Amino acid sequence: MTGMVLITGAAQRVGLHCALGLQQAGYQVIATYRQPKAGVEQLRQAGVVCLALDITPHSDLALQVADLAAAVGDLCQQQQLPLRAVIHNASSWAGEVQTSGDLLAQLSADAAVFDDMFRIHTKLPYLLSRALAPLLTTEQPQAADIIAISDFAVNTGSCNHMAYAASKAALENLVLSLARQLAPQVKVNAIAPALLMFNEGDSAEYRAFTLKKSLMEIEPGPAEVLQSILYLLQSRYITGRVLALDGGRHLKLP
């Protein structure tokens, strides 16, 4: 093993693929999950350490992060491995909901979505990066890494996912601040995908329409994110940057 890598939100889809790929690449992966889905058992069978992380609105997030940081520290000590990287992958694709009630009901619903998006995409990475900074900045053969998974929507906004897009924009700004604060011991970057994977229930019409949004017109799959993570881990010089994985979609905007 070449070091510990913590990845949040790894029970399914992109997070699951990246956790398994990093474990296979020789890292000891620690993966967090919100619910015990089938992917968690798959991770455990592959040798990944799986830890529950409660990031629901009623949880004490500071306490959850403190406990997680302590567990990561213990694992690093037990296995005598440095914390090589933290990957902020946990996410929620929640959009604004139109209520049939009065203005207060609508604003209350909007506030709940806003708080949820910023808690998951900005507050959690902020607190976790702060908590794990002492482990990341310890002496090791090369600089450690923090990698945040952002979104193409940061560049365009979103009519139906405004809070989501805003929270990812805040995440990218956090990357800049952390890169400045933690250099040269830690490189901090973001990866911003557009379409990666369709959902099982997506219609043929929706798939065809969405594929046409990029120049490459393909569903690239989660391997694109894994390869980008490995690229950033191997680099000694890239920090404070956002790596776009959008198939040239920015060139097809109106």
Report the catalytic residues.
164
DSSP string, 96-162: ----SS-HHHHHHHHHHHHHHHHIIIIIHHHHHHHHHHHHHTS--SS-EEEEEE--GGGGT--SS-H
Q: Specify the DSSP class assigned to residue 93.
A: -
3 state SS for 145-209: EEEEECCHHHHCCCCCCHHHHHHHHHHHHHHHHHHHHHCCCEEEEEEEECCCCCCCCCCHHHHHH
Backbone φ and ψ for 92, nearest 5 degrees, come out as -145, 130
- CA-wise closest residue to 145 among 228, 36, 62: 228
Rounded Cα distance between 183 and 69, Å, is 21
